Structure 1
Amino acid sequence: MVPEKWSFDGSDDNGILKGYLEHTFQRVYEEGKIMETREYAIFNTGLFNRYYQPVYAYFIPNLVPDRQRWYLEGFFTEYYLLKSGIVSLPKRAEYVKDPAELVFDTTLDILPQYEHIFEEAENNMRLPECIRSSGMKVQIFDGALRQTKHMLEADYRTAVPQYYNHSIQFLVPVCLQNPAKADLALACVKTEDGRKYLGRTCLTLKMAYHNARLLAKIHSSWLYP
Structure 2
Amino acid sequence: MDELTNHDVTTVPLELFDFAFCRRLNKKAPELNKEFKEYIEDLQQLAIKENWGTPQGHQKYPVLHNYIWHTYMRIAEEYNDAVTPEERAKKIPMRDGFACFNTGLFTEEFERIFALFEQNRVPDRQPWYFLGFVPESDRQLSRFSPLPERANYFEDPGSLIFDYRLEIRPNKRHILVDNKDRLPQEYQAPDKYAWLVQHFEGAVNNAQRRLSENFKLAVPQYYRGRIQLLVPLYLTGNRQPDLALAIERDGDVYQARTCLTIDMAYNNARLIVKPQSDWLQPA
Secondary structure at the aligned position of 1:211 is classed as helix
Q: Distance in 2 between matches of 1:83 and 1:117?
A: 47
State yes or no: 1:129 paired with 2:185.
yes
**Bigger radius of gyration among the two:** 2
Counterparts of 2:188 and 2:162 in 1: how far apart (Å)?
A: 29
SS of the residue corresponding to residue 100 of structure 2 reads strand
1:219 corresponds to which of 276, 279, 283 = 276
Change (3 A) 1:69 1:82: closer
More moved, 84-93 vs 137-146: 84-93
Aligned residues: 221
Q: Could you list the runs of 5+ residues in structure 2 that have no partner in the other structure?
A: 1-46, 80-90
Segments of 5+ residues of structure 1 without an aligned counterpart are: none
Identity %: 41
- C-alpha contact (below 8 Å) 2:217/2:277 kept by paired residues: yes
Are positions 1:146 and 2:205 aligned together? yes
| Secondary structure of 2:114 counterpart | strand
Q: Render the CA deviation track for 1:75-117: whole Å, top value 9, x for unaligned.
A: 1222224774433321111111121111111111111101211
Q: Does 2:138 match 1:80?
A: yes
Distance 1:74 1:10, change over 3 A: closer
TM-score between the two structures when normalised by the length of structure 1: 0.91
Partner of 2:266: helix, strand, or coil? helix
Mapped pair 1:188 → 2:271: no
2:77 is equivalent to residue 30 of structure 1: yes
More displaced 10-residue stretch of structure 1: 10-19 or 155-164: 10-19
1:14 aligns with 2:14: no
Q: What's 1:201 paired with?
A: 258
Distance in 1 (alpha carbons) for counterparts of 2:141 and 2:273: 29
State how far apart, in whole Å, the 2-side matches of 1:65 and 1:17 are.
Answer: 31
SS at match of 1:136: helix
Q: Quick one: which amino acid aligns to residue 212 of structure 1?
A: A
Distance in 2 of aligned mates of 1:169 and 1:189: 5
How far apart in 1 are the matches of 2:259 and 2:142?
47
Q: Deviations over 1:12-38 (max 9, x none)?
A: 711101111111101111111111235
Residues in 2 aligned to 1:73 and 1:179: alpha-carbon distance in whole angstroms: 45
Q: Which moved more, 1:207-216 or 1:103-112?
A: 103-112
Contact conserved, 2:248 with 2:255, CA < 8 A, in 1?
yes
Normalised by the length of structure 2, the TM-score is 0.73
Q: Which of 221, 226, 232 is residue 173 of structure 1 equivalent to?
A: 232
Name the Cα RMSD after superposition: 1.9
